[in-house]
């Protein structure tokens, strides 16, 4: 009997020690059970403004061929302790993300066109609080950066009528909307056409410009006489090419 009682006491003592160790471990570890309740939700409202917030030209504008139409959004968030979430191919204008760790989050949304090309972006910061739903409004705008602008002019002239000096680009300028004009180092070439005695006046030029809206103008001279004065309006989109092509036969 005494041996049995001794074993029972030993078992109770060991069980007590186990319980105490478990209690102490739980009390000392700040991560246990702490994160379970410290989460919130995020309500995201999605929209886009593909005209840079201010489209000064409603028509007659030269643009790249890329389709500037949003077909979906990719959402990515990064928060405390490098926690992240990702929601691809969102087509709704409102979406909610639950169980987000409390703290400061940076949310980036990229808008894609029907071909899957990124055309717009927006980034916002938000603080998530325990048990609450926070809201942010996202308005994706076109990507900032640079795009290409090219000029291609071909004029076919009667050699009998135009026999004087080589053509000269008197002035070529480009002006950002709301900004100051800049000169473009554009030149013209006279290309003979031996079969007919006529010639082609060729102007080929390309440059890079910051994204946005511009006006441009080119004044072409034949010696001292005005030959051609043209101009237009264009839009520059990141990593895309805006082309101005003018071809005319004056013979």
CATH at 225: 2.60.40
Q: For position 174, what pLDDT does the model report?
A: 94
Sign of the dihedral defined by the CA atoms of residues 205, 206, 207, 211, in that order: positive
Quick one: 133 and 200 in the same domain? no
* C-beta separation of 213 from 233 below 8 A: yes
pLDDT digits (tens, 9 = 90+) for 39-54: 999 999 999 998 754 5
Residue 150: per-residue pLDDT: 97
Residues of the chain short of pLDDT 50, as ranges, are: 16, 19, 23, 32-35, 53
One domain, residues 157 and 169:
yes
| Sign of the alpha-carbon torsion through 17, 19, 22, 26 | negative
**What's the start-to-end Cα distance of the chain, in Å?**
127
Residue 27 lies in a domain: no
Final residue belonging to a domain, choices 76, 111, 142: 142
- Does residue 4 lie in a domain region? no
Q: Residue 43 has what pLDDT? A: 97
Last residue of a domain, which of 83, 115, 142? 142
Q: What's the pLDDT score for residue 17? A: 52
Please report, rounded to a whole number, the percentage of residues in the chain having pLDDT higher than 90.
59
For residues 93 and 153, state if they share a domain: no
Number of domains in the chain: 2
Q: Are residues 105 and 159 in the same domain?
A: no
Q: What is the pLDDT of residue 60?
A: 76
CATH of residue 106: 2.60.40.1120
Q: Could you tell me if residue 103 is inside a domain?
A: yes
- Tell me, yes or no, whether 82 and 177 share the same domain: no
The answer on 137 and 159 residing in a single domain is: no
**What are the structure tokens assigned to 243, written together?**
């082309």
pLDDT tens per residue, range 164-190: 567 888 889 999 988 999 999 999 888
Asked if residue 107 is part of any domain, the answer here is yes
Q: How distant, in Å, are the alpha carbons of 71, 141, 201, 216 from that of 167?
A: 47, 42, 7, 20
DSSP states along 184-225? -----EEEEETTTTEEEEEEEEEEEEESEEEEEEEEEEETTE
Residue 121, domain extent: 37-142
Neighbours of 247 (CB within 10 A): 10
In terms of domains, do 155 and 135 share one?
no
Same domain, 178 and 131: no
Residue 8 lies in a domain: no
- Whether 79 and 102 map to the same domain: the answer is yes
Model-level pTM?
0.77
Domain boundary among 142, 167, 182: 142
Q: Are residues 165 and 82 in the same domain?
A: no
């Amino acid at each position: 009997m005494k041996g049995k009682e001794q074993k029972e006491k030993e078992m109770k003592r060991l069980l007590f020690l186990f319980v105490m160790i478990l209690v102490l471990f739980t009390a000392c570890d700040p991560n246990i059970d702490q994160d379970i309740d410290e989460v919130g939700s995020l309500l995201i409202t999605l929209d886009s403004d593909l005209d840079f917030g201010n489209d000064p030209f409603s028509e007659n504008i030269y643009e790249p061929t890329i389709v500037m139409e949003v077909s979906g959004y990719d959402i990515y968030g990064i928060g405390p302790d490098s926690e992240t979430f990702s929601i691809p191919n969102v087509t709704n204008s409102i979406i909610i993300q639950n169980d987000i760790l409390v703290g400061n989050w940076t949310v980036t949304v990229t808008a894609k066109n029907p071909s899957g090309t990124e055309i717009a972006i927006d980034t916002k910061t938000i603080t998530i609080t325990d048990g609450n739903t926070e809201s942010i409004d996202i308005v994706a705008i076109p990507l900032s950066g640079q795009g290409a602008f090219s000029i291609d002019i071909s004029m076919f002239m009667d050699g009998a009528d135009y026999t004087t000096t080589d053509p000269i680009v008197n002035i070529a300028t480009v002006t950002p909307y709301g900004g100051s004009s800049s000169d473009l180092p554009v030149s013209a070439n006279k290309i003979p056409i031996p079969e007919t005695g006529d010639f082609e006046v060729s102007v080929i030029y390309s440059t890079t410009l910051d994204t946005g809206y511009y006006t441009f103008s080119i004044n072409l001279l034949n010696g001292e006489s005005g030959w051609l004065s043209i101009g237009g309006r264009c839009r520059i989109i990141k990593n895309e090419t805006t082309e101005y092509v003018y071809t005319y036969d004056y013979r």
